[in-house]
Chain A
Amino acid sequence: MMEKVISGNDAVALAVKLSRVKVTGIYPITPQTYIIESLSEMKDRGELETEIIRVESEHSAMAATFGAAAAGVRAYTATASQGLLYMHEMVWWVAGSRIPVVMTVGTRAVGPPWNIWNEHTDFMSERDSGWIMAFASTPQEAMDLSIMAFRITEDERVFLPMMVGMDGFILSHTKTRVYVPSQEEVDSYLPPRRQPYVLDPEDPIAMGNMFSPEDYMKLRESIHRAQIASKEVIVEAGKEYMKRVVPIGSYSTLNESYKLEDADYAVVVMGAWSLDAMQAVDELRKEWLKVGVYRIRFVRPWAEEEVVKALKDKSVLVLDRSVSFGRGGQLYTEVKASLPDADIKGVITGLGGVSIGKNEMKAIIRKFVERPQGIEWFYPKEVGKIELRSPRYIK
């Protein structure tokens, strides 16, 4: 293990290299482009034994990655925003086929209007696809989860693909200290590739064929049960990771609690701004406000038992960096479903790169404590010029 000052994108590229990924289907989209550039440079220098397939779209990137994985090798791709939306069909195809694939999503707003900055709507829009979905809060965690992802997806109890979310620019481009494990450490952690079936001309099988309604439904139930079974696998993989690879993580649970034991108020967050929330909580505690942070690391599988245990008997504020139009924040609805009788409020903010730091977090939490009916949408600044036109009636 060695320390390096690298960005989230660099950290993920190193994780891909250390996991001995054999095929990557690549297509550039901001802000994850640097991952595939970094992988291409590594290959050029002869450090990486990966077949890099350059394709013409994200849909093809996932198709190429899926094909390689079905043929029996570790396969990886990365995307963001419109790219993930363009890939959407193949994302479902991979999960439904039960083939382990790992993907990084450098989260970014979805247009129109065009916006390259961070939010979580693109990532959250794949919530029901069957993928295991983890979200990192630091470049270190992005790397750790990417390595763990191969072990989790290739477990016989799971056999589902996994995506690792990483806040666009905030994590993908910010350089920070990362502990990079050695190749020997990762080799001792990752077992040889396993998957439920493989493309083999000597033993032909039909994939992607039509199933009768009852059989189809049975396969859907199988995905659901594999998601639930993966909770146990994730915890095992996390504990083993801390023992063999990077000892500084905290991966013995799916989600993470911060100063929640004695708290009256809990703030639920996901991603890089969890750290801003933790700093805000530290300062608010000096004002004798008993508040803690609950950080969601896994959206799927949803850690129902952990959420209920951590948040029961508390006033809960869920911060969403994504929105389900006409309904509210996705994390809010998930938390509310776990604790239907609890006092839960939701705030949607930080969309399209709106900057939410420690001070804004403090303002949101203070408002929540003082005026607990909650605020639904929070803007840290005056909203500037947005040109609104009256509707044009067509005669």
Chain B
Amino acid sequence: MSLNYQLFPISKPAKGAGGKTGNWRIVRPLVHEDKCVGCKACYIWCPEGTIIIKDGKVAVDYEYCKGCGVCSNVCPAKAIEMVSES
């Protein structure tokens, strides 16, 4: 008996084109790697899931980052600076 009829209502999480930032962001987070202690507070708090962990240090996915500044605010080491886009 074929099981082709069995379909299940789940999906894999993926980044969609709809969530991309475009050109309207006015500030962006700049990570100073020398100050970053790798605590991942920014990773936990980022509402858009745009913090990338690389070798214990953090980086930002600017394609999706909205520039809200939450990461900069929660960083205990003051390693994330919000800089102007212009």
Q: A205: shortest Cβ distance to chain B, in Å?
A: 5
Q: A377 at interface (Cβ–Cβ under 8 A)? A: no
Interface residues on A, range: 20 to 34
24 contacts between A and B (CB under 8 A): A96-B9, A97-B9, A98-B8, A98-B9, A156-B3, A157-B1, A157-B6, A196-B6, A204-B12, A204-B13, A205-B11, A205-B12, A205-B13, A206-B10, A206-B13, A207-B10, A208-B9, A209-B11, A218-B7, A219-B7, A219-B8, A221-B5, A222-B7, A226-B6
Q: Binding site of B, secondary structure by majority: helix, strand, loop or mixed?
A: loop
Query: Does B9 contact A205, Cβ atoms closer than 8 Å?
Result: no
How far apart are the CA atoms of A6 and B12 in the complex, in Å?
A: 48
Binding site for B on A (CB under 8 A): 96-98, 156-157, 159, 196-197, 204-209, 211, 218-219, 221-222, 225-226, 229, 232
- Give the A-binding residues of B (Cβ under 8 A): 1, 3, 5-13
Question: Which of B1, B5, B10, B11 is close to A222, meaning CB atoms less than 8 Å apart?
Answer: B5
B3, B6, B11, B12 pick with most chain A CB within 10 angstroms: B6
Residues of B within 8 A of A197 (CB): 8, 10
Identity of the chain A residue whose Cβ is nearest the Cβ of B14 in the assembled complex: A206
Pick the contact of A229 from B1, B12, B13 — CB < 8 Å?
B1
Give the residues in chain A near B8, CB-CB below 8 Å: 97-98, 159, 196-197, 219, 222
Q: In the complex, what distance in Å separates the CA atom of A221 from the CA atom of B5?
A: 8
Shortest CB–CB separation between residue B40 and chain A, in angstroms?
15
Complex-state Cα separation, A389 to B12, whole angstroms = 60
Chain A residue contacts of B10, Cβ below 8 A: 197, 205-207, 209
- Rounded to whole angstroms, the CA-CA distance of A219 and B12 in the bound complex is 17
Check if A206 sits within 8 Å of B12, measured CB to CB.
Answer: yes
10 pairs of A and B residues whose beta carbons are closest in the complex: A225-B5, A222-B7, A196-B8, A205-B10, A206-B11, A98-B8, A219-B9, A197-B10, A219-B7, A206-B13
